[in-house]
Every structure is written in structure tokens, then in C-alpha cells.
């Protein structure tokens, strides 16, 4: 399993940003030699706020240095891409920076942690970052929650948003729908029903509570399935464990001679995510 900043012998992840920096640690690097972090979780950079930051930089300079990693082509930005973009707009030739020796895994973790601390990510950006870290580091939601200081349920709930239709995911990512709307829509299994309800949300400006009420009414109108025999507590515990680890619905069926496990997925991307989790060991 790949190791990150939370591992023994490495600088603790949450303490990384709290370390005091002396002037001797800061150098100045040419903007033309810097390139964005390939593991940057942020997809949305607001032009208006960047312009405001650029004006501040023109007047006061960059007050907090960037964190960069040396590469063959110059420097990769680990932390501070927003400041870097604003410095470009301000026409600066150099930026103050601290050069660190970091692995790819550490870069991913630090970029995500910085944005989480600043609450700069959309729910979808955050979810995609968790999913990518789990895949790249080969860790479970349990391990990731401990490493980042986020609850497992928080991580699981966000990742589940990625199982919604792509058009719905992008509406949440751009703020056209809220995370609350997305979580409510997960209550509908039929994708056509989800899309029809999204149209109603946008047309009638429905709030989350209204959407939850509509979904409850839709589900109550559906014919109820015959009651099944109470499942073995042992199997129920295993189902819940797999559900939390995989971030999707899991059913275990026990027969007289052999049993089977059903793992639900909603699209090819979701299927690949689940397969990748089975393909890597912790």
C-alpha cells in the first residue's frame, strides 16, 4: 500500500501547515517555471475572486508563500495554486515559495487538506478527491477518514453523490443544485425518475424538504415487495461493513449449498471504482 504523510516517520498531515517558517526557508521562483499541481482537487476557480486577489497582490504582494516541489521542468505547485493564478494576473515575474521534497501521494493529500481547511471545494470536488485518494493509495474509507480527520459517514455520503447521473453531478458541482438536493435524489433508484424530478426542482425552485416529500410519495406509491424472512444478524453485519467500505448497496444471499453477493453500481465509472478497490490491497 502506498504511504502518505500520516505514516510513521513522516511529518503528521494535520501538523504540516502549522509548522513555523523562517525567512531562510523561503525562496523566490519564476512564475514561468511553475506549473499547477496535477493532483489539484479544485476544478472551479472564480474569476471575480481571482481578480480581487490579483489587485491585493499588486498592492501588498504575496503574504503567504506557496509550497512547491522541484521537478525536471521546474516546480510543481503543491499548495497555493489560487495565489499563483492571481500572481499571473497581477503580472508578477516571481513568487515566494517553500520547496519541499514530497511524493505524489503526499502532494495529493496536502492539496486536498489545504482546500478542506479553507472550505474551498464543492461537494463534488471533495467527493472526487476522496475517491481518487482511495484508488491511488489503495485505502478504505475507514483509513482515509482517520488520515484526514473526516468522519467515515461524511466521506461515504459525498462519494455516493458520484453515483447520480453525470448531468446531475455537474449541476451540483456548479451550484445549480445543492448537496442536499443530491442526497435526496439518491432516494430514487430509477434514473429517469431522478432526471424528471431534477426538472421539477429547477422549474419550481423546490427546496430540499419539498424534494424529500415528493420522493417519499413516489416510493410509497410503488408496489411493496413481499416480506422476506429475517436475515441472519451475521450476514446483516457483513452487508453493512461492505456497504460502508464500497460506498454502495450490497446484498448477501445465503443458500442451502452456496450463496452469492450482489454489489450495486450505477454506471461504468462506478463499476471501475469498485473493481479497483478489490484490485488493491491495503
- Residues that are catalytic: 81
Judge whether 71 and 78 are in contact, CB under 8 Å. Answer: no
Judge whether 263 and 247 are in contact, CB under 8 Å. Answer: no
First vs last Cα of the chain: how many Å apart?
A: 5
Alpha-carbon span 217 to 196, nearest angstrom: 15
Closest listed residue to residue 208, CA positions, set 236, 231, 179, 174: 179
Judge whether 206 and 195 are in contact, CB under 8 Å. Answer: no
Closest listed residue to residue 141, CA positions, set 8, 274, 5: 274
Q: How many CB atoms lie within 10 A of CB 20?
A: 5
Amino acid at each position: 500500500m502506498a504511504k502518505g504523510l500520516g505514516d510513521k516517520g513522516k511529518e503528521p498531515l494535520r501538523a504540516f501547515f502549522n509548522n513555523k517558517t523562517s525567512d531562510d526557508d523561503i525562496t523566490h521562483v519564476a512564475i514561468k517555471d511553475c506549473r499547477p499541481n496535477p493532483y489539484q482537487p479544485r476544478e472551479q476557480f472564480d474569476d471575480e475572486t481571482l481578480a480581487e486577489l490579483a489587485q491585493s497582490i499588486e498592492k501588498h504582494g504575496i503574504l503567504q508563500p506557496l509550497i512547491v516541489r522541484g521537478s525536471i521542468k521546474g516546480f510543481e505547485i503543491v499548495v497555493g495554486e489560487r495565489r499563483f493564478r492571481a500572481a499571473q494576473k497581477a503580472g508578477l515575474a516571481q513568487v515566494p515559495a517553500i520547496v519541499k521534497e514530497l511524493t505524489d501521494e503526499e502532494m495529493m493529500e496536502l492539496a486536498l487538506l489545504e482546500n478542506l481547511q479553507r472550505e474551498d471545494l464543492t461537494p463534488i470536488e471533495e467527493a472526487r478527491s476522496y475517491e481518487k485518494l482511495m484508488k491511488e493509495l489503495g485505502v478504505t474509507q475507514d483509513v482515509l477518514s482517520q488520515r484526514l480527520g473526516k468522519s467515515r459517514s461524511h466521506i461515504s455520503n459525498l462519494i455516493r453523490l458520484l453515483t447520480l447521473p453525470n448531468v446531475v453531478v455537474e449541476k451540483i458541482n456548479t451550484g445549480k443544485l445543492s448537496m442536499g438536493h443530491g442526497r435526496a435524489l439518491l432516494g430514487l433508484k430509477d434514473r429517469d425518475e431522478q432526471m424528471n424530478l431534477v426538472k421539477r426542482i429547477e422549474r419550481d425552485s423546490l427546496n430540499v424538504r419539498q424534494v424529500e416529500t415528493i420522493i417519499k410519495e413516489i416510493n410509497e406509491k410503488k408496489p411493496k415487495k413481499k416480506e422476506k424472512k429475517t436475515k441472519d444478524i451475521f450476514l446483516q453485519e457483513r452487508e453493512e461493513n461492505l456497504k460502508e467500505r464500497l460506498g454502495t448497496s450490497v446484498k448477501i444471499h445465503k443458500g442451502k449449498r452456496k450463496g452469492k453477493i450482489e454489489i450495486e453500481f450505477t454506471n461504468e465509472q462506478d463499476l471501475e471504482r469498485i473493481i479497483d478497490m478489490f484490485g488493491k490491497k491495503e
